[in-house]
Structure 1
């Protein structure tokens, strides 16, 4: 599904899997075109075959069992996993038009995902010193349900977020996710919520206007 958002931002939801390297090449091409003013900004929602991706701060000691392809992602952060049952959102926005504030972009991105998950019935939060989206797992402990990793080139954003709908959580054991060993990883399915990717995309879309308002209104001091 591809649509043009009222703010002239293309919204594309993929139903099939797209190889990570192919998505990365497409995203880099789109980044250049947005920067040159030859195409619109874009939100791209998709799913990847199993892959481990390495951010610019990746530590080789945290690649425990490279059972899947490992790709240098170019984004910030460390190792993360993408695979079936996980929804990935690539957000390509021109920050030249939105204050050139990377911190505000990341804060607003986190807030968008947190608000969307709240609408679905899962309370989530940020955690000081720990990148990502956190929630209460079935055992009562804190666990990560979503990851954040961005890159800004030519003041156009790349990469974005991933949320665990129903992935195989054992696939995360091949790495130390985002360099955080002491906390686990969870999913909507593990929490008892069966949600199709299309339904999650619709929930994200319903909150997209709030995300843009937070970003453009610089509402970044909010908790």
Structure 2
């Protein structure tokens, strides 16, 4: 089993460009696995973790409802935002500057074959990271992602998650609001859940800005710890 993770820091990128990259890496792992099975080989499958910020974009998962996007195509253009229907689970979400998006593209056969465990570990990574900022985050029963003040009238979501998996290979991932402009969430029903607010780390800390690179390093540290993985780092502009 290969527990090395190649980490890529991709900066601020258009959603389509990174979706195409994910698909390429995802297909490559599946092709290696197919060749192993067909030719009785034991070729190593790679694992990746992509960190990125996106230009303003709304994405709708395969089980989502378009009515959860509350604005017209014209309004999207006015906001300099784009919209995509994509092949992850979950409903609608927003990505934009100030938000850390992480895409683990893993062959889970290198780690464990349990999608439920995979999702819970991603949530735990976020919970552990926020705890380092003295922010108490938790899960909300029946609702994927990471929340604050669950079970109170002040419940609010700080991290959304949605993944795709095929033959134990994953893509898509998590979106943690750090310095995010929360006004963009007013144009959607976040994750299709009515009556729930969203928040960001800088709002919770009462700061104008939180160091994004520091948050990424904490996320990576906790990811490696939880997945018992090692880093094989690659940095791209």
| TM-score range for the pair, normalised by the shorter chain length | 0.7 to 0.9
Shift in alpha-carbon separation, 1:148–1:166, aligned structure 2, 3 A: same
Number of the residue aligned with 1:61: 67
Q: Give the number of aligned pairs.
A: 207
Q: Which runs of 5+ in 1 are unaligned?
A: 1-5, 215-223
Asked if residue 146 in structure 1 is aligned to residue 152 in structure 2, the reply is no
Matched residue SS, 1:100: coil
Matched residue SS, 1:132: strand
Matched residue SS, 2:202: coil
Q: CA RMSD in A?
A: 2.1
Q: Which has the higher contact order (CA 8 A, sep 6+)?
A: 2
TM-score with structure 1 length normalisation?
0.86
Number of the residue aligned with 2:24: 29
Distance in 1 separating the partners of 2:188 and 2:28: 34
Shift in alpha-carbon separation, 1:140–1:165, aligned structure 2, 3 A: farther
Distance in 1 separating the partners of 2:172 and 2:115: 13
Number of the residue aligned with 1:198: 213
Contact 2:49–2:102, Cα closer than 8 Å, also in 1? yes
Number of the residue aligned with 2:140: 127
- Could you list the runs of 4 or more consecutive aligned residues of structure 1 that deviate by over 3 angstroms after TM superposition? none
Asked if residue 102 in structure 1 is aligned to residue 92 in structure 2, the reply is no
Distance in 1 separating the partners of 2:3 and 2:45: 13
Shift in alpha-carbon separation, 1:140–1:200, aligned structure 2, 3 A: farther
Structure ID, larger Rg: 2
